[in-house]
Amino acid sequence: MYYCVKKVGETRVPEKPYLMYTMGGHSWADKFYAHKFNCLDFANAARKDLIKQGIDVFIEWHDKSKNPKHGAFGEVNKNVL
């Protein structure tokens, strides 16, 4: 299982909604280039930093196992954070 930080659009889903780290800082990309966090704590720290910058984001979990118990992906419950 891994976690991705995803940007929320004002009126629709952005073309490149996933957080990607580059040599110059962070950028936004499609799912293929998204930074995959192995730990929820690190994903939450990145989410908090982006919220401080005024960017509306949330954390999405992905389960690539053969028969995922709770589905293949979903939004992390904000009450857990």
Domain definitions of the chain by residue range: 2-65
Phi-psi region of 41 (alpha: psi -120 to 50; beta: other; left: phi over 0): alpha
Structure tokens at 64: 């690539």
Q: For every one of its 81 residues, what pLDDT tens digit does the chain have, with 9 covering 90 and above?
A: 999 999 998 778 788 999 999 999 999 999 999 999 999 999 999 999 999 999 999 999 999 889 888 888 999 988 877
Structure tokens at 55: 């960017």
**pTM of the entire predicted model:** 0.88
State which amino acid sits at residue 25: G
Residue-level pLDDT at 70: 85
State which amino acid sits at residue 56: D
- Tokens 């780290």 belong to 21
